[in-house]
Amino acid sequence: MTATMRPAATAAPAVPEVLGRTRDAVQPALRAAVDRLDETSRAISAYHLGWTDADGTPVSGSNGGKAVRSALAVLSALAAGAPQQTGVPGAVAVELVHNFSLVHDDLMDGDTERRHRPTVWALWGAPSAILTGDAMLALAQEVVLDSGSPHAIAAGRLVSETTRRLIHGQVLDVQFEQRDDVTLPECVTMAAGKTGALLSASCAIGAVLAGAPAEVVGALAVFGEEIGLAFQLVDDVLGIWGDPAVTGKPVYSDLRARKKSLPVTYATTHGGAAGDELAKWLAGGETGDEAELARVAALVESAGGREWATAEAARRVETAERAVAAIPAGPREELIGIARFIVHREA
Amino acid sequence: MTATMRPAATAAPAVPEVLGRTRDAVQPALRAAVDRLDETSRAISAYHLGWTDADGTPVSGSNGGKAVRSALAVLSALAAGAPQQTGVPGAVAVELVHNFSLVHDDLMDGDTERRHRPTVWALWGAPSAILTGDAMLALAQEVVLDSGSPHAIAAGRLVSETTRRLIHGQVLDVQFEQRDDVTLPECVTMAAGKTGALLSASCAIGAVLAGAPAEVVGALAVFGEEIGLAFQLVDDVLGIWGDPAVTGKPVYSDLRARKKSLPVTYATTHGGAAGDELAKWLAGGETGDEAELARVAALVESAGGREWATAEAARRVETAERAVAAIPAGPREELIGIARFIVHREA
């Protein structure tokens, strides 16, 4: 990822530079937090976070991924006029909550690979995945409560509430697999829980720890929530029409999995005859070959699912950027830079 | 359970009366907390807590079990000279952490029954058990942080730290199944995590919320920790020699499961020739018939495991009671009453 990959005309700040800077601020605190875990949970967390191999050997030069959530948390403190250090405990907490949910979700979904490496449960079994996730969740709260911020209670509450929304999103996702009557508002609630809630908390928690006024915290929370939805809409479009060479997933992967994604749910509930045909196919059990999946993708498209999802993502990005209009220009531009990076790159 | 079941000579307060009184104080707050969960997690939690059947029908007259942990939390506030209401958010939190761990442990251990009812994962599957447990854990923190106590941060920290000790205990328990070289200190650490940590937090959290001095909080924490260990020692003795009619478990159940319990680990590490023979049997894979298990139980006994565990439990109870000597007599006697009830009844 180099700066030259972005159109030269945009004034967006250099995202890799921002991510590098915030990562340097957060990583030592994240490592110190993980060091508090019992030996086993610590070793498994270090593997999951990309710091070590399965046998505990440090991965040289590993920075533990893009860490966009912790970058947003640090920028959130800056947006509230506080030093970036104020956002660091919040950054560690959202990173831990994110990774708690990944470790549990991989187990629930039966996914054996993440970022081209075996998942925790695939290596160490279900009990270890459950316990390591639990430990990371408990640790997230501890870090916020230990921050020394006079606003630690509000930040801790945000972590709890966000975790419950995240869980609700996953609860709905699990249920949708068994249902044929998912409505678009339900699908949006699911995506808002699974993706919007934690991005919203990431964008707000630094300002909360800084004791920012409610309107600043609220603006940042809306920003993150809308960016989360926009990301999910784009991701769902890529899940159907994305280039496998770019997404790293097989072609039509979400259709193969009969996923009730946002464009699919728009199509089945607002897409007329094509939508009805799509709904019938989803309710059936047959696994289609590639030609069949191409026909289904065309149904989603002619039912308006692709166009709606693309336009809705753009609307959400606009809403997000409008929400932070009153934030000082420097942090605002960096937040918007990371947000665009999330929406358009993190497929 | 009636008062006449206890020897008339003891001056112990009427435990059922104390449990009833504290339950009346805590139940509405616990129900209000569970009401905050998403619809699915709420329904599953209500079932697990004994309030409803699997189909959601309220269980008439159900009080959700003995709830000894929440009773201790309420008494903890009284011990610090605060009104019992001060302990209620702490009581709700420890009850939620306890039940989070039960729901996850039942899944990890593959247990299909608890309190004569199917377990959550057995009814709704592993993902629902994972998510419901996660939701209860997040909720526990939220209740403490919402308490309005000026000491909510310290109470929240106690909940996080306790949860991590609980997880550490379960991590060790899972590992012990694969190990033949478990030492007695390791076994005590495991039991202290699985049983001591949350009873310690239960006994301390009301005083923490009341802002009690460190020596009061510390005394109550030691009391709970020692009571937890004593309970586990007694429970482990019953797991081998308990009367199936009383324990509700098959005879020699812990030996059948080759559990590295406290008396067994004492025997294998301090029990001379009999202990060595026991260790050899544990390392072997054969499932013994009842005569074989009786022979193994006799090995634990002649290696000194039963005598040590029984004496150690008594020593721990003494240490516990000495620790709270400076607590005002009223709450102290009620705490000791509940503690004796836990150690001797909750098999």
Tell me what ipTM this predicted complex has.
Answer: 0.92
| Chain A CB within 8 Å of residue B179 CB | no
pLDDT at A65 over 90: no
Question: For the residues of A236-255, what is the DSSP string, one character each?
Answer: HHHHHH--HHHHSS-TTHHH
Inter-chain contact A145–B153, Cβ cutoff 8 Å? yes
Question: For the residues of B195-216, what is the DSSP string, one character each?
Answer: IIHHHHHHHHHHHHHTT--HHH
Inter-chain contact A167–B41, Cβ cutoff 8 Å? yes
Domain ranges of chain B: 14-345
- Counting one residue from chain A and one from chain B, the pairs whose CB atoms sit within 8 A come to 121
- Per-residue pLDDT of A87-100, as tens digits, reads 999 999 999 999 99
| Chain A CB within 8 Å of residue B152 CB | yes
| Chain A CB within 8 Å of residue B45 CB | no
In order along its 347 residues, chain B shows pLDDT tens digits of 333 343 444 445 689 999 999 999 999 999 999 999 999 999 999 999 999 999 999 998 766 677 999 999 999 999 999 999 999 999 999 999 999 999 999 999 999 999 889 999 999 999 999 999 999 999 999 999 999 999 999 999 999 999 999 999 999 999 998 899 999 999 999 999 999 999 999 999 999 999 999 999 999 999 999 999 999 999 999 999 998 888 778 889 899 989 999 999 999 999 999 999 999 999 987 778 899 999 999 999 999 999 999 999 999 999 999 999 999 999 999 999 999 998 886 44
| Chain B CB within 8 Å of residue A208 CB | no
The total number of residues written for chain B in this structure:
347
Nearest to B108 among A127, A133, A135 (CB): A127
Question: How close does chain A come to B12, measured CA to CA in Å?
Answer: 37
| Chain A CB within 8 Å of residue B151 CB | no
Q: Which residues contact A298 (CB under 8 A, 6 or more apart)?
A: none
Using a CB-CB cut-off of 8 Å, the residues of chain B touching A153 are 145, 152-153, 156
Q: What is the CATH number of domain A14-54+66-231+325-345?
A: 1.10.600.10
Question: For the residues of A140-183, what is the DSSP string, one character each?
Answer: HHHHHHTS--TTHHHHHHHHHHHHHHHHHHHHHHHHHTT-S---
Return the CATH number of B14-345, one of 3.40.50.2020, 3.20.20.70, 3.40.50.300, 1.10.600.10: 1.10.600.10
Question: For the residues of B25-82, what is the DSSP string, one character each?
Answer: HHHHHHHHHHTTS-HHHHHHHHHHTTSB-TTS-B-TT---S--HHHHHHHHHHHHTTS
How far is it, in rounded angstroms, from Cα A319 to Cα A307?
18
> 3-class DSSP state for residue A87?
helix
> 3-class DSSP state for residue B118?
strand
How far is it, in rounded angstroms, from Cα B1 to Cα B15?
10
Determine the residue of chain A that is closest to B38 in CA distance: A168
How far is it, in rounded angstroms, from Cα B71 to Cα B88?
9
Most B CBs within 10 Å: which of A158, A164, A170, as the mutation test of the B interface?
A164
Question: How close does chain A come to B67, measured CA to CA in Å?
Answer: 23
Using a CB-CB cut-off of 8 Å, the residues of chain A touching B130 are 104, 107-108, 130
Nearest to B167 among A134, A152, A160 (CB): A134
Inter-chain contact A164–B126, Cβ cutoff 8 Å? no
Q: What is the pTM of this model?
A: 0.93
